[in-house]
Amino acid sequence: MATRLAQDGYLDAGYNTVHIDDCWMTKSRDKVTVEMVPDPERFPDGIQALADDIHSKGIRIGLYTDIGTHTCAGYAGSQGYETIDANAYAKWGIDYLKVDGCYANESVYESGYPKLGRALQQSGREITYSCSWPAYLGNDESTKPFDRMIDAGCNLWRNWHDIENNWKSVSEIINYFGKFSQVLSTVAGPGHWNDMDMIMAGNDHTSTDGKPVLTLEQAKIQLSIWSIMASPLIISNDLRTVPQDYRAILLNKDMISVNQDPLGQAGKRVGKRKEDGLEIWARALSENKMAVVLYNPNSVGVIDVAIDLLLLSDVILGLSIWENTAMLQVKDVWTGQYMVLDGRAALHKEIAQTSCSFLIVNAVTSTDSFQEEII
């Protein structure tokens, strides 16, 4: 996978880490060092040799552990061994650590995640710390202790249920995050992000016909909403079997630029219409730009949309920041097309069933600054 990541354009686009999840270790620790032991059949040369090989390609390596006594699959966990494990990961050259929450309780989360966070910070190596702490605290994001997670050194956290490779799972996660997006947008920022879970675009696992399970439009919706929410883009698929059209959307530069925008301000769902279910998601971007997603979650029926972008900008960017704007430049992320819009006029769109429109909006003062692709 590391080779394909480098050769197929993913690394150049910013996908810079190969992650190894549960089951990489044995079920018992080394009797002498008390360190975790890599499975000798899967990793006969050990994790450090694998990390060296991956690093030689300019790629980072991510590893998995659990804050409890065992991992979710029953392998050795980190409870009581936080410092030993942190030092081992640093010695092996690990760059990213996902820490699950099985075989533990709230008391263990409150003590274990901060303890492991301190151990990682003191290990001598910069390791991105992914905590699953909030995913084990129920279905109300407004009650979860995100301030303590930030204090514990968590750079990102899994909030809710594990994603599955089907549209039902993806759409449920979108709906859940939309419900709590007002709260979640306030706790995310540079160095501490909400993680909506993995990207399923191009994943053919469990497919009955060898094709990706999510349709191309469903995959676009996931990437669009994840980008508005500033959720990490962690691909879950076999890069060797990803069709070209799915690879194209995964590598879409505009989508990635929104997701990785340097302002670091997460977006939110700002509206859900009762009459037809249309959802409006938006995010403030650097340079006083704005990203907007118009999402039709219905399985049948086209939705006609007329949206006042200036009014929306007051909500997302701040009151009247575009007050004297004569024109807006609107770029469609997925088609690459531009349009020029009178700042006082509504944007009209038709959104087909189970699809979305993903837009980048910018206030401009002269047509001289427009792109050649204006339509």
Q: Name the residues annotated as catalytic.
A: 100, 162
3-state secondary structure the chain: CHHHHHHCCHHHHCCCEEECCCCCECCCCCCCCCCCCECCCCCCCHHHHHHHHHHCCCCEEEEEEECCCECCCCCECCCCCHHHHHHHHHHHCCCEEEEECCCCCHHHHHHHHHHHHHHHHCCCCCCEEEECHHHHCCCCHHHCCHHHHHHCCCCEEECCCCCCCCHHHHHHHHHHHHHCHHHHHHHCECCEEEECCCECCCCCCCCCCCCCCCCHHHHHHHHHHHHHCCCCCCECCCCCCCCHHHHHHHCCHHHHHHHCCCCCCCCEEEEECCCCCCEEEEEECHHHCEEEEEEECCCCCCEEEEECHHHHHHHHCCCCCCCCCCEEEEEECCCCCEEEEECCCCEEEEECCCEEEEEEEEEECCHHHCCCCEC
